[in-house]
Amino acid sequence: MKQLVMKSVSVFSVLCLSQMPLLAQKNFFPPQTPIQSVTDTMHGVMITDDYRWLENKADPAVINWTRAQHDYGIAFLNATQKKHDGLREDIAAYIDRDYESPLGKEGKRLFQSVKRKGDKQSKLYTILDGKKILIWDPVKLDTTGNTSTSSVAYTYDGERAAISVQKSGGEISTTYIIETRNGKILYPPLENTFGFQWTKDQQHAYITVRSKEDIDKQLPLKTYWLKIGDSMDKAQVVGTTADAKNSFYAYDNRYAEVSFYGESDFYSNSCYMRNTGTFEKGQLIYESKKSSAYPEAIGDKLYIFTNDNAPNYKLLIGDRNNPESKNWKVLIPESKTVLQGYAVTKKNIIIQDKIDIQSRLTLYDLNGKRIRQIELPETGNVSGMGYDREEDSVYVYISTFTSETKVFVASPSNFRWRLYYQRESAVDMSNIVGEVKFYISKDNTRVPVIVVHRRDIKLDGNNPVLLEAYGGFNSGIQPGYYGFYASFLNRGGVVVEAGIRGGDEYGEKWHEDGMLANKQNCFDDFNSCAEWLIKEKYTNPSKIVAMGGSNGGLLMGAVATQRPDLYKGIICMVPLLDMLRYEKFLIARYWIPEYGTAENEEDFRWLLQYSPYQNIRKGINVPTMLVTAGENDSRVDPIHAKKFVASLQNNPGQINPVILHMDYNSGHGSGQATAQRIDNWEFIYEFLMNQLGM
């Protein structure tokens, strides 16, 4: 049952009010927002939505309201904030600088991504006879710099590449096939590509198509098999799903004659095996609704990295001649540490695992017998590891809090590391230190936290703190380079990243403890971190700004509505906030396995308890908030930010400013041009530092 109630405030009058000058430097009088109430009955509960009308992005009234809110927010901040000398220069020093990536090897070919100071986007070069040759520059497609390279897929010999680009962060790609010796575009571009994988014969590709219509109408995506050079109307459909919350996948194996395909959601999958180059149904070898397994085939052996009955993961082995999962054997068992990845070399197996969020490498023989822990070339965190079977070399990425990531290479026969790549820091981190610490959450759970600050910090309870977290989708924190925060840190700021539940810090159990009915644990963990920082004399509530984006934006909305007393300000970026309706927009059905859906009564009960938009408390003043959204976001619809801001601004007792900031030339955050990134981060840092009184 739906009931529509119209308030007698015209949108025209709202827009007229929005053009009025600021009445006073410190008073916040944003454009008024009409209330147009819609009432739904959900599982016997009446839910009133006063701002459903803001969901219609094509409505001129919504377009004008959004622009008026955005413009007012900028004007208000310009009138009330002080500028910090050198801030923009500091940010630019990190973002806009000369950069050359590590050399990438494909067959006997070498490639390198290069970005010079002043370039709008990165360019791709190949190296032939010792000379660098430019083969790809997205700015040649779009001189504004708003078109960016989103992925590059090379053939095994490196002679061709499929390069995908997106415009204005929309994550709807166009793919170009180029000859990599000279950058020549070989065929007409493929439009609306979402995934591109070369097949083993290197003459075809698996291509998943996703158009704006697919996103807007939440249509299941189709995967095609295409002969390179043909148009998409000649492609053969090889798979799709019945529901847009699931996806189809298919891939070949370079070192075996079998291929795998199936259907998956975010955390589980089915898997069929068939002979490469055929479209036979093949054999169902794995199926689960709780865990995942994506085999890698090398010769006649299958290697399976899985969390099936192993929340800390394990590595299994199977035989292509008897491939069903019931026949798989444990090669590297689950342990108390969390397995992160593996590499099967010609002579041994390398396992990357982590203890208390810090990673290491361990060597095993091909039968799974532990040999030893691998000594690293330098002290630091293993932030990545790869193996090149063609040249039989292992690459390891070592990160620390205060220095750029270094890459080392060695033979897996002796692990005599040599430096392969390093990059000098463009910012001063000489007086900065970082630590991994732990605190106790509301239910006595021990939670890891990264704390980075100046060496001469005084624990007097008065330090400005930026507190961040994500807490979802099995994505966690790890030690890494904090140069991006250099300007804030060197001015006395403290950067804190909390490893709250929902991430991967302690395996799948840690993730499960922060998803679905357990989502409240994420919010409790974050608030407990703020309380710990206060207790340990790092800071006080008037000196903490919280920041998070996407799922972390949901976190920001929840802590704002649940514990407004703990924070001076909140930066809530590209957020999910109306959790009773989130899956109705764009690609959000993919996330039902993480959050649940209000269409299900059990899920509805827990979603209603924490959904930020439905839990704005009348008369309660939340901290000053900067709520950002991307106009071209294909993941999280900007309607969340708009409705939340409107409701808070109209809430009796809301005194602190709640500001909507739209990025009209971006999406969920990827692909921004250099100047745009500098502008956006200067804007955010100015808000942060002004809130903290710096």
Residue in this structure with the two tokens 């415009």, named with its chain if needed: 167
Secondary structure (H, E, C), 465-500: EEEECCCECCECCCCCCCHHHHHHHHCCCEEEEECC
For tokens 């500001």, name the residue.
659
Q: What gap in Å lies between CA 517 and CA 519, rounded to an integer? A: 6
Residue 647 lies in a domain: yes
Structure tokens that stand for 522 in this block:
């994420």
Is 17 exposed, middle or buried (CB count within 10 Å of its CB: 0-12, 13-18, 19+)? middle
SS3 646: helix
**The amino acid at 130:** G
| Integer angstrom CA distances of residue 357 from 177, 197, 362 | 40, 32, 16
DSSP-assigned states of every residue in 321-339: TB--GGG-EEEE---SSEE
CATH number at residue 587: 3.40.50.1820
Beta sheet of 393-399, edge-to-edge order:
381-388, 393-399, 406-410, 418-421
How far apart are the C-alpha atoms of 624 and 81, rounded to whole Å? 13
pLDDT value at residue 16: 38
C-alpha dihedral, 538 to 379 to 398 to 381, nearest 10°: -50
- Answer for the pair 343, 374: CB distance below 8 angstroms, yes or no: no
Cβ burial of 583 (10 Å; 0-12, 13-18, 19+) is buried
Inside any domain, residue 453: yes
Structure confidence at residue 7 (pLDDT): 32
CA distance 284 to 34: 55
What is d(CA 385, CA 21) in angstroms, rounded to the nearest whole number? 56
Under-50 pLDDT residues of the chain: 1-25
Note whether residue 520 is domain-resident: yes
**676 within a domain of the structure (yes/no):** yes
Nearest to 343 by CA among 393, 397, 403: 393
End-to-end CA distance of the chain: 52
Residue 329 is assigned to a structural domain of this protein: no
Distance (Å, whole) CA 246 – CA 669 = 24
Give the H or E element holding residue 275.
strand 270-275
SS3 at position 375: coil
Q: How many CA atoms lie within 13 A of 412 on its CB side?
A: 29
Q: What is the pLDDT of residue 17?
A: 37
- Can you read off the two tokens belonging to residue 5? 């109630």
Instruction: Give the number of domains in the chain.
Output: 1
Beta bridge partners of 37: 5
- Contact yes or no for 606/517 (Cβ under 8 A): yes
Other Cβ atoms within 10 Å of 579 Cβ, number: 28
Nearest CA among 181, 335, 241 for reference residue 590: 241
Q: What is the token pair recorded at 594? A: 């993480």
Per the structure, the complete domain to which residue 661 belongs is given by: 85-90+427-691
Cα Rg of the chain, angstroms: 26
- Copy the structure tokens of residue 388: 């090149």
- CB proximity list for 161: less than 8 A, separation 6 or greater: 135, 136, 152, 153, 154, 155, 177, 178, 180
Taking alpha carbons only, the member of 438, 440, 403 closest to residue 424 is 403
In a domain, 632, yes or no: yes
Task: Round to whole Å and give the CA distance between 141 and 392.
Answer: 38
Residue 105 CA: distances (Å) to CA of 111, 258, 678: 6, 25, 32
SS3 of residue 95 by DSSP: helix
What lies within 8 Å, CB to CB, of 546 at 6+ separation is: 467, 468, 526, 530, 556, 559, 567, 569, 570, 571
Strand stretches in 558-667, DSSP E: 569-573, 624-630, 658-663
Alpha helices in 415-537 (DSSP H): 486-490, 507-512, 520-535
Q: Angle at the Cα of 190 (from 124 to 231), degrees rounded to 5?
A: 135
Cβ-proximal residues to 143 (8 Å cutoff; 6+ apart), any chain: none
Asked whether residue 675 is domain-assigned, the answer is yes
The verdict on residue 253 lying in a domain is no
